[in-house]
Chain A
């Protein structure tokens, strides 16, 4: 069975949807610059605007509210950076409302940008989360005030899948007079996202998480919202993001959201079933496991599990040898020395964070794959535990047995 390939890392990235691939291959010859007035340019322009309409439709937005950018990280950097303007010429009032609120479980592109902004004089406040990864709304209410300019809360967490109530959060934020941004990179295409229902001012999405190409994302900016580009020097995207359009990527993104609109509604129930079987199988076949994330308000495709006494990178690499791709919150796999900041924020202790594995399924994931994983995983965990100091005299768990 070692030749079986199972890709359970869809939160990292996804394969191209065959329809997206077809669309992009067909467009390979289209090289025109959308800014050119001649026929080549007009062809590219027409296709870029067509894709914009698709993305806008998918989000319930107007076309003018969609800005194509190079990645989800760029979109998030753009929104946060709006608030460091030294003068208040671009964004009226940004000097008096110079505090940003975000959470401890955001993607590093939000957290590190926030840290950088803090060095540049912006006040940044971080919301705590509970054991399931939900933010504390009372704490948010306490932080909101007339000094707060922007609140940025991710819609669904990439590591544990926990979904926040963005609609309620946005209402609270708007009542205090601040702007609301949500990083919806992991939520888009997995749960319905309607920017009018959510009420947000900014929303980030990325194509490669929804079976589109890498290197392209979009930022929704509600009409009338103050804005300042991160990348300047061109009139592209109505002067809101300079740089010649990534036409192929934009087309791919347009097709990707179209396919999501078709496939997403039928998919959730199926993925939820797979996740239930996976979770139950792990709990039944392996002892001393800890399920991370919210039991209900969570992405149907994401299951995060910690295995006591086992380090995650070892699990990941033994699974890789069996043809199964997953990811881990262990420090060792990340190139840093700290385990997952998300799991630590939920109060999981460092050892369990080191021993966490994220299984993220997608549109092609099957019951056969789940069953194969459930056959392969228990002996791997047992094998690692047999060589682990956690289960011997002087190891941490020896006393508890």
Chain B
């Protein structure tokens, strides 16, 4: 007979969950050069990332965080904070959720969304650093605007879904899963749905 597996997730994830690295102690972020926060408590995930930067080299020297969320969320922020140290701002900016998941030894499909907020919070922190240091020109706006925070669905995703045939809010949800968690984005999504239907189909 098989025995219980050691853990619900990978060993690396377990290690980062049991002994998370670089948790921000207290709530004072004054010593940091950039602060970013993404997600909200209603969705079940919220992450904050703070960074210190070597201003000569534009290299991240320290990265700390706070996370409200499940084991995957805690572990992925922890592993992200280790990954970015020593990277240039530019390299750190382009870390993808896939890389984070890989570093964790893999994440189950239904847990991928738990890890996407970490790198978004990191990008927000980097942009925050540029803004604070008069380098607004370097601020890289996310080209698309996130409408559904919970599922990380952008206006581009909604437009694509409309182009692919979604005509009602329900069909949009079926395709993109937008608004399927906290539902706070419903009004904004419906406005966009009507807008894209009008632009592309004159409806």
Contacts and interface: CB of A to CB of B under 8 A. Distances in A.
Interface residues of B, number: 38
B71 A331 contact: no
Given A331-B44, A354-B44, 18 more contacts: A309-B41, A310-B68, A314-B69, A314-B71, A314-B74, A317-B71, A332-B44, A332-B70, A332-B114, A335-B110, A337-B180, A337-B181, A350-B41, A350-B43, A350-B44, A386-B23, A394-B37, A395-B46
Nearest to A317: B71
Given A314-B70, A387-B67, A389-B67, A396 B41 contact: yes
Interface in A268-320: 309-314, 317
B70 A330 contact: yes
B27 interface: yes
> What 4 A-B pairs are tightest by C-beta distance, nearest first?
A332-B70, A313-B70, A392-B27, A351-B41
A360 B18 CA distance: 25
Contact of B181 (A309, A331, A392, A393): A331
B42 interface: yes
B177 interface: yes
A313 B71 contact: yes
A212 interface: no
Contacts of B71: 313-314, 317, 332
B8 interface: yes
Interface of B: 8, 17-18, 20, 23-24, 27, 29, 37, 39-48, 66-74, 110-111, 113-114, 150-151, 177, 180-182
Contacts of B8: 317
Contact of B42 (A312, A349, A388): A349
A312 B68 CA distance: 10
A119 to B, nearest CB: 13
Contact count band on A: 20 to 34
A257 to B, nearest CB: 28
A311 B44 contact: yes
B47 A389 contact: yes
A333 interface: yes
A389 B50 CA distance: 12
Most central of B42, B68, B70, B71 by chain A CB within 10 Å: B68
Nearest to B150: A337
Nearest to B41: A351
Nearest to A390: B68
Given A337-B150, A337-B151, A391-B27, A321 B41 contact: no
A362 interface: no
Contacts of A392: 24, 27, 48, 66
Contacts of B46: 389-390, 395
Contacts of A349: 42
* Interface majority SS (helix, strand, loop, mixed), chain B: mixed
A394 B44 contact: no
A378 to B, nearest CB: 18
A367 to B, nearest CB: 27
A167 interface: no
Nearest to A328: B70
A193 B54 CA distance: 70
B23 A311 contact: no
A271 to B, nearest CB: 27
Interface in A346-382: 349-351, 354
A389 B43 CA distance: 13
Most central of B40, B70, B72, B181 by chain A CB within 10 Å: B70
A396 B43 CA distance: 12
A387 B70 contact: no
A339 interface: yes
Contacts of B73: 311, 332
A338 interface: yes
Most central of B41, B72, B181 by chain A CB within 10 Å: B41
Most central of B71, B113, B177 by chain A CB within 10 Å: B71
Contacts of B72: 332
Given A317-B17, A338-B180, A390 B41 contact: yes
A393 B150 CA distance: 20
Contacts of A336: 110
A82 B135 CA distance: 69
A167 B83 CA distance: 61
B69 A311 contact: yes
A337 B114 CA distance: 10
A335 B113 CA distance: 12
Contacts of A333: 70
Contacts of A311: 44-45, 68-70, 73
A396 B74 CA distance: 18
B181 A338 contact: yes
Contacts of A313: 70-71
Contacts of B37: 389, 394
B66 A387 contact: yes
Contacts of A339: 44
Nearest to A339: B44
B172 to A, nearest CB: 16
Nearest to A398: B27
B68 A388 contact: yes
Contacts of A398: 27
B42 A351 contact: yes
A389 B44 contact: no
A352 to B, nearest CB: 9
A32 to B, nearest CB: 27
